[in-house]
Amino acid sequence: MTTPRGALIAIEGLDRAGKSTQCDILLNRLRAAGIPAKLQKFPDRTTPIGHMINSYLTTTSTNLDDQSIHLLFSANRWESRDSILSTLQAGTTLLLDRYVYSGIVFSAAKPAEVIPDPKPLSISWCKAPDVGLPRPDIIIFLNIGQEEAEKRAGFGEERYEKREMQEKVRGLFERLRGEGSGSSTDKEDWWVVDAGGSIEEVAGEVWKGVEEGLRRVREGSGEVR
């Protein structure tokens, strides 16, 4: 008998919504439920491309034009494509801490003052380089108000963590939830969670979304673990 494949679960949301916190909890919860699971974070700052991205995000001295940094974020996902597919194939569920959706909205949201030559990147241009990457089975979106996000530790330390940019990101995520990423012919289903509650409350809602998503996938194709 062949091993059923693992599920691909993307956790998305605004900066400081609690994605990494929730990914760790979910990873343990899946394992406790007997589902082999792994975690992959994007950007993956450990690779040579990831080092460039990290330096762009954390220093103002690294200047890259908007198109170049957008393509680096995408390339940073493409360099993981084979390992994503082989992980799923081996029957392991894979959690992604951010994925193509962050890639699209953050680049398209850049306000004029971040770029010297203010030509915002179009959503369709931003979607193109990620077309062909594995499509998540489940997308969990952590929704948080700007005021709450700003109260959380570390907000404002990196390049995009500014109120105006974050408001733009919020609007573009809403648009993307409506129209899909374009990397597949079907529109993706998003499970939206209010991330303003306590860590435990949010974890409970995330788990509901994952259980619901796994049920839907199993009923649809029956192939997922």
Which SS3 state, helix, strand or coil, does residue 60 take? Answer: coil
Amino acid type, 184: S
47's contact among Na ion, ligand T5A, none, with CB below 5 to 8 A by partner kind, is: none
- Asked if 54 touches Na ion (CB under 5 A), the answer is no
Neighbouring residues of 97: CB distance < 8 A, sequence distance ≥ 6: 11, 19, 20, 23, 39, 40, 41, 42
3-state secondary structure 78-146: HCCHHHHHHHHHCCCEEEEECCHHHHHHHHHCCCHHHCCCCCCCCHHHHHHHHCCCCCCCEEEEEECCH
Site string for ligand T5A, 174-213 (x = CB under 6 A): ------------------------xx--x-----------
Two tokens, residue 87: 């992980």
- Asked if 20 touches ligand T5A (CB under 6 A), the answer is yes
Cross-strand partners of 76: none
Residues within window 39-98 making contact with ligand T5A, judged by CB under 6 A: 42-43, 57, 73, 98
Residues within window 125-154 making contact with ligand T5A, judged by CB under 6 A: 152-154
75's contact among Na ion, ligand T5A, none, with CB below 5 to 8 A by partner kind, is: none
Shortest CB 155 distance to ligand T5A, Å: 7
Nearer to Na ion, 39 or 75 (CB): 39
- Asked if 20 touches Na ion (CB under 5 A), the answer is yes
